Structure 1
């Protein structure tokens, strides 16, 4: 049974296969965009594969639900052959086929299809969550890479400052204490750099485990803070798959109730009995030894209806349960959306502030270094401003990563996936 849902999923799978054949494995010397890693994760995720197999299994149940009960075949031999006027009955053969009430098979197929649609939405939800996790991991890894680069640049600057201090010591413009302070600061930055390199390696390994591919070096593209984000109405979560799932669950219970009503109807059965009869040799009779064919009609009447009435009440209560769960989940998603919008805007403001402060810190460094020509270089202030610049640069990278992660969360909550 080919459904619209099956066509959609097969179309997606075909696209993934084409992406792999075209070579999504990033090559060195080229910046790898987030979309490439999203495609890799979608193609290689064992979790998504498991959800896909569950959906395909549910689709097979649609075909299973359309089957009729087994054909009953019986055979028996008379231990004591009954004598009739036309001869002795030797054996009895029977065929029986039970038929469900009119519309029962359709009701079963509709119920199985509704469950398959729920499984498809589970796949959609898992895919969207995976895309969110990959996006957050990508931005975290990019922030760590940039922070590591910042620490290396700061270490290079400290090397240059150390040369200036040593030259100042020789010229009598600085003391040995200033040189020691520079060495202490270099040791601190070196230790921080080693810690950050370890964090990057751990995050790099975890990121590629999430993609389920072998790790390889990443060349990140430059990132810039976008302008003011497009306004999203507070609480606007759209037709989110997590909410769609409750609609499908509700519909599946309705189909279950229709099936329950059909199951409460009588069952029909048709059959045929065949009895071979031996010919009588002691007398000549019309129809002597004529075999017996007996068509059969069976009616199965559900006299005790309490199980069906109980299922009806269970279905009603389950529908109310799904409505309550949907309302609760909608409230949670809307709250999450509102918080994500506020936090995204807060990170954008922080990034703008960081940019202004970084520019001013660099101006302060230029002023301090310019004082070297007039023998007024204050090495303590130089280290303080340099440390401030490092703190600002590290904070800006973290805020950028947080901004894009919150933007990914907003997309997860607001974008609508195509319906099956």
Structure 2
């Protein structure tokens, strides 16, 4: 089971191999994250309980000494000592170990879930960083383009083919784009700090992201049956098995306990006893029977109810995961459609820009139209980047749910 879950985790991480350094970020987070370390320690504690289960009840030692002895001609007891060891019914210790192991396996699934959730969070923040930095690059390109237009407007102003208002409009537009870039820089710092926080490293450490991402034109197909291997559901299977082991243990503990021991009695010398064997050694056997066993019957009923509860919890969680998968697939398809539309719009805006530039050669350029086209281009470019981010964020969610 453990190897299976590890394989699932590997598939989840390898799904992001297309993103530069993302896999390294995730692996580093697994190593440094206090949350993951917390779950690892909890798993070690649960594993150690297996050793705790492999133990016997305390051994009873008794010693008694006659402090004040009455005067009698009969032999008198000087002191007595005994030892008694109770033994659980056959198979009880094995049942305890099996129960402890089942609880440890359930805790191990919690470790896997925590790692997968951490990987998902880092992946989503990673693609947000990609979005912010891609938008910054687009803003830089548009600012450079507006500066080119500004030079054209100044040249046209000198020959009376443009007005000072055209130049000012171009300058104002550049100021707006520079403002947007400054805002993005601050947003980048916040998200970068969030990533570093999850990795337990300095908040201002640089997080490198991939330079560009593409969206497949083909619609991806997903199988809802793959949800069955999601650790969030496997956790309930492990809990169910632990309850079954708890019932086996309950049945074993409702059986009698056997005890074996020996008692030694030391006696003083007496004229009435001439035999050298005056002391007594008495082997003992004890049997502990749970006559009033309502507690065990109640525990059996509780275990049955607990198994029903776990089944309902699993069904409820499965429905939630199906809804989340449907939503993620829908949003990913929306992003793919939006990207294709914005790509077509951007191509047409670039064609319009080319027409305007050709008109400049004939001296009929309208810088108001230039600003309108530039604004459209920036809108389409920004929408493309947002579609890419949405596509890969939802891909991360889908991989979390199905791999």
Is TM (by shorter chain) over 0.5?
yes
- 8 and 194 in structure 1: CA distance in 2 versus 1, 3 angstrom threshold: closer
The answer to whether the aligner puts 1:314 opposite 2:314 as a matched pair is: no
Report the counterpart of residue 184 of structure 1 in structure 2. 172
Greater shift in the superposed pair: 153-162 or 80-89: 80-89
Report the counterpart of residue 242 of structure 1 in structure 2. 232
Equivalent residue in structure 1 for 2:379, among 391, 397, 401: 391
The answer to whether the aligner puts 1:101 opposite 2:59 as a matched pair is: no
- 80 and 7 in structure 1: CA distance in 2 versus 1, 3 angstrom threshold: farther
- Would you say the 8 A contact 1:71–1:97 is kept in 2? yes
Mark the runs of 5 or more structure 2 residues left unpaired by the alignment: 10-18
Q: Quick one: distance in 2 between partners of 1:66 and 1:6?
A: 25
- Would you say the 8 A contact 1:83–1:89 is kept in 2? no
The answer to whether the aligner puts 1:285 opposite 2:271 as a matched pair is: no
How many residues get paired?
390
Report the counterpart of residue 190 of structure 2 in structure 1. 202
- 76 and 210 in structure 1: CA distance in 2 versus 1, 3 angstrom threshold: same
The answer to whether the aligner puts 1:332 opposite 2:335 as a matched pair is: no
Structure 1 residue 213: deviation in Å?
2.4
1:166-177 map, 5 Å: 166-177=154-165
Structure 1 residue 216: deviation in Å?
2.3
TM-score w.r.t. the length of structure 1 is 0.88
- Would you say the 8 A contact 2:250–2:296 is kept in 1? yes
Q: Quick one: distance in 2 between partners of 1:117 and 1:340?
A: 30
1:249-260 map, 5 Å: 249-260=239-250
- Would you say the 8 A contact 2:75–2:273 is kept in 1? no
Spell out, residue by residue over 1:100-137, the C-alpha distance to the aligned partner (whole angstroms, 9 max, x if none): 01111111111111100110000111111111111111
Report the counterpart of residue 27 of structure 2 in structure 1. 39
Report the counterpart of residue 222 of structure 2 in structure 1. 232
Structure 1 residue 33: deviation in Å?
2.6
SS at 2:267's partner residue? Answer: coil
- Would you say the 8 A contact 1:236–1:337 is kept in 2? no
Q: Quick one: distance in 2 between partners of 1:156 and 1:36?
A: 35
- Would you say the 8 A contact 2:74–2:272 is kept in 1? no
Q: How big is the alpha-carbon RMSD for the aligned residues of Structure 1 and Structure 2?
A: 2.1
- Would you say the 8 A contact 1:235–1:334 is kept in 2? no
Equivalent residue in structure 2 for 1:264, among 254, 259, 265: 254
Q: Quick one: distance in 2 between partners of 1:335 and 1:162?
A: 51
- Would you say the 8 A contact 1:276–1:291 is kept in 2? yes
Q: Quick one: distance in 1 between partners of 2:31 and 2:150?
A: 51
